[in-house]
A and B are shown apart, each in its own frame.
Chain A
Amino acid sequence: AQSVTQLDSQVPVFEEAPVELRCNYSSSVSVYLFWYVQYPNQGLQLLLKYLSGSTLVKGINGFEAEFNKSQTSFHLRKPSVHISDTAEYFCAANFGNEKLTFGTGTRLTIIP
């Protein structure tokens, strides 16, 4: 079955420390991958996406993600986080059927 898994429901990180939010997918077909962020009381905003080409994708706000086909992963990273990065992060995939399948989300909390 096609699915997206975010194993970490909550990730606390000290301010200015690096962070990695994990995302794995399961699919037998080609996949397009996305990371969305949802700030408190706001809608979903696209951080970055992987469609094809370079496996390292850079997005907004200093985030980047790397597509790893052999490990079926698309982990999100940032070298130094800020208080303003506090939000919920969703990994999503398109398995070629026009809709997005979302992971359950990871709540990132930045500790001052």
Chain B
Amino acid sequence: GAGVSQSPSNKVTEKGKDVELRCDPISGHTALYWYRQSLGQGLEFLIYFQGNSAPDKSGLPSDRFSAERTGGSVSTLTIQRTQQEDSAVYLCASSLRTAWDTQYFGPGTRLTVL
């Protein structure tokens, strides 16, 4: 079946602009995660959604970052007033229910802030 998909695959933006990154999880997966992969920081957790519960936002690096998940499916990660340090690959993952179910990762969105 279809895996986790993310769009766009690449995004180049100017400093100060807002960007939206999209994630389509595997159908039927109730848990959705966003991670960031950057050279200096490795793989970092950003945010976690489980069904209709309030998301775990503990990994968001600043209030410029926000995410929503509509209808328990598609998720959008928004970065406002982008900075050069936001340049990274943003990865989305989904799992059936919990974190000890296998997390399936999408191919990522490579964000470059000029």
A-B residue pair count with CB separations less than 8 angstroms: 53
- The CA-CA distance from A46 to B99 in the complex, in Å, is 13
Main secondary structure on chain B at its contact with chain A? Answer: strand
Are A51 and B100 neighbours in the complex by a CB distance under 8 Å?
A: yes
The count of residues in chain B whose C-beta lies closer than 8 Å to any C-beta of chain A is 24
Which chain A residues lie closer than 8 Å to B42 at the CB level? 102-105
Are A98 and B105 neighbours in the complex by a CB distance under 8 Å?
A: no
Q: Does A107 contact B (CB under 8 A)?
A: no
Are A42 and B103 neighbours in the complex by a CB distance under 8 Å?
A: no
Are B106 and A98 neighbours in the complex by a CB distance under 8 Å?
A: no
Q: Does B50 contact A (CB under 8 A)?
A: yes
- The CA-CA distance from A101 to B100 in the complex, in Å, is 12
Q: Which of B74-114 contact A (CB under 8 A)?
A: 91, 93, 98-100, 102-108
Are B105 and A45 neighbours in the complex by a CB distance under 8 Å?
A: yes
Which chain B residues lie closer than 8 Å to A51 at the CB level? 100
Are B48 and A43 neighbours in the complex by a CB distance under 8 Å?
A: no
Q: Does A90 contact B (CB under 8 A)?
A: yes
Which chain A residues lie closer than 8 Å to B43 at the CB level? 90, 92, 100, 102, 105
Q: Does A86 contact B (CB under 8 A)?
A: no
